[in-house]
């Protein structure tokens, strides 16, 4: 690497990666293990990775490790949402509505194609630019925009369907 990777930068990327793995469906312990293994691989290959691309490289390695883990276990990992006790009834009601919406979004994300899910999470959870996503998934930025538009459309249709089924 031409420029040195700082500890703060690495910690920030590790946190993003951890949250991304959780959103993909990994449990907390699995996500921690995968992040640790991916960072170890990064440190081994640090000299051969371009400074601008270490983040994409790390994410790609971690996702491949997670897919390997899923293939070995042949089961989906589901996130357990922790319950918090709040004394104010209005806050409890708001929290329950937010929790229900989060679960609905997660359920829909599990139903969309893995490519769409990955693109939506990279764009809206991690706030990556089209260029960053394009580098990560080896596509042109224009293709990423097209696929994201399709992913958003599919997600919205599925969300509306779920909401309509709920209200009936």
CB 144 within 8 A of CB 129: no
Where is 5: in which H helix or E strand? none
- Mean pLDDT over each residue of the chain, to the nearest integer: 80
Query: Which is it for the CA torsion 84, 87, 91, 96, positive or negative?
Result: positive
Q: Is the pLDDT of residue 77 over 50?
A: no
What is this structure's pTM? 0.55
> Per-residue confidence at 72, pLDDT binned at 50, 70, 90?
confident
What DSSP designation does 48 have?
G
User: How does pLDDT run across 91-145, given as a tens digit for each residue?
Assistant: 566 767 777 788 888 888 889 998 999 999 889 888 889 998 998 888 999 999 9
Residue scoring higher pLDDT (55 or 74): 55
| Domain range list for the chain | 7-73, 89-166
Query: At the top level of CATH, which class does the domain 89-166 belong to?
Result: mainly alpha
User: How does pLDDT run across 148-158, given as a tens digit for each residue?
Assistant: 999 999 999 99
How many Cβ atoms sit within 10 Å of the Cβ of residue 54? 19
pLDDT at 140: 94
Q: What is the CATH number of domain 7-73?
A: 1.10.1740
């Amino acid at each position: 690497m031409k420029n040195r990777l700082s500890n703060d930068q690495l910690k920030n990327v590790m946190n993003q990666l951890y949250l991304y793995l959780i959103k993909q469906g990994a449990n907390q312990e699995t996500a921690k293990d995968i992040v640790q293994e991916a960072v170890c691989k990064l440190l081994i290959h640090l000299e051969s990775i371009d400074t601008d691309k270490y983040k994409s490289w790390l994410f790609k390695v971690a996702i491949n490790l997670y897919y390997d883990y899923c293939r070995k276990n042949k089961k989906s990992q589901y996130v357990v949402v922790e319950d918090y006790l709040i004394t104010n009834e209005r806050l409890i009601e708001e929290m329950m509505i937010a929790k229900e919406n989060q679960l609905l979004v997660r359920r829909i994300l599990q139903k969309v194609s893995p490519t769409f899910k990955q693109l939506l999470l990279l764009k809206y959870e991690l706030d990556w630019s089209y260029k960053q996503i394009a580098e990560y998934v080896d596509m042109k930025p224009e293709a990423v925009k097209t696929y994201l538009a399709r992913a958003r459309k599919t997600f919205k249709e599925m969300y509306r369907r779920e909401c309509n089924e709920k209200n009936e």
